[in-house]
Amino acid sequence: MAADSDEPASSPIASITPPDTSGRDMLQGALIATGMQDQEAFQRLYELTAAKLFGICLRICGEWQAAEDVLQEVYVIIWRRAPSFDAARASPVTWMATIARNRAIDWRRANRRPVHDGIAGVGQPAHDPIDDAPAADMAMIGQEQVQQLYDCLRVLTDKARSAIRAAFLDGLTYSDLARREGVPLATMKSTVRRGLLQLRKCLTDEL
């Protein structure tokens, strides 16, 4: 190993693109300050993230008013729970988006909403992101990791990939997915489970 370290890196340091962490740092700073009950930081945090989180709530709830209510609750939760945010455990945007998704999903479960097609033109992606390079707006997560996820999703069957995406983006359960695709529940489960296993293997493979 010592011999290896004497070798120069194959590309000079200067040419390595630094990871874009500025968005993440800004968000993390705002979140940590929010945890110290800094109201201005909370406002900054809101301004940085509200449109993203509202898009998530709207898409999953499928109703404007419900999405507004859920979003309010989400920010109250973020304010109160920010003191216990653990940066070692999740990135700020993942943490906040997880709260928004789970609250919206809980609302759907509590209100027994049927599978919806979304509000026309709202909360829907302009394109299928699986087919494209990931957009840059979430640089806060880490571009490499996002790219890897997209690459690995491409390995799955169309059915598994589309089910996993719909589960994440629209908050659909196995039952919702099975109904939507007109297949038995057990079939949907085994399709998705096979896909998840494949996905995990791909994501954890040392390259």
Partner 1 sequence: MNSDDQILAAELALGLLDDAEHMAARQRLLTDPDFAAEVAWWQDRFAGLAEGTAAVEPPSALLARIQARLTQAAPAGAARRWNWFTGGALTGALAASLAALLLMPDAKVIERVRERVVEIPVAAPAPLVAVLAPGEGTGREPVAAVYDQQTRTLRLTATITVPADRAAELWSIGSDNVPRPLGLLTAGTRGAIRIEGDMVLQPDETIAISIEPVGGSPTGQPTGEVIAAGPLVTS
Taking CB under 8 A as the criterion, which residues in 161-190 touch partner 1? 164-165, 167-169, 171-175, 177
Interface residue with partner 1, options 30, 61, 97, 160 (CB under 8 A): 97
Number of residues lying near partner 1 (CB under 8 A):
77
Q: From residue 50 to residue 89, what is the string marking binding to partner 1 with x (rule CB under 8 A)?
A: xxx-xxx-xx--------x--xxx-xxx-xxx-xx-x--x
Interface residue with partner 1, options 113, 149, 180, 183 (CB under 8 A): 149
Distance CA 44, CA 48 (A): 6
* Smallest distance from partner 1 to CB 73, Å: 7
Sequence-distant (6+) residues with CB within 8 A of 92 are 24, 27, 28, 30, 31, 85, 140
Is 6 or 128 the residue whose CB approaches partner 1 more closely? 128
Longest CA span, the chain = 64
Is 4 or 128 the residue whose CB approaches partner 1 more closely? 128
Interface residue with partner 1, options 23, 115, 134, 180 (CB under 8 A): 134
Report long-range pairs for 32-36 (Cβ below 8 Å, ≥24 apart): 32/82, 32/85, 32/87, 34/78, 34/79, 34/82, 35/82, 35/83, 35/84, 35/85, 36/83
CB 60 within 8 A of CB 108: yes
* Smallest distance from partner 1 to CB 136, Å: 9
* Smallest distance from partner 1 to CB 27, Å: 13
Q: Which phi and psi (to 5°) does residue 74 adopt?
A: -60, -45
CB 167 within 8 A of CB 177: yes
Q: Which segment (1-9, 14-22, 23-31, 104-112) binds partner 1 by CB under 8 A? A: 104-112
Q: From residue 13 to residue 52, what is the string marking binding to partner 1 with x (rule CB under 8 A)?
A: ------------------------x-x--xx--x---xxx
113 near partner 1 (CB under 8 A)? no
Distance CA 75, CA 53 (A): 10
Is 4 or 131 the residue whose CB approaches partner 1 more closely? 131
Tokens of 1: 């190993």
Which amino acid would we find at residue 22?
Answer: S
205 near partner 1 (CB under 8 A)? no
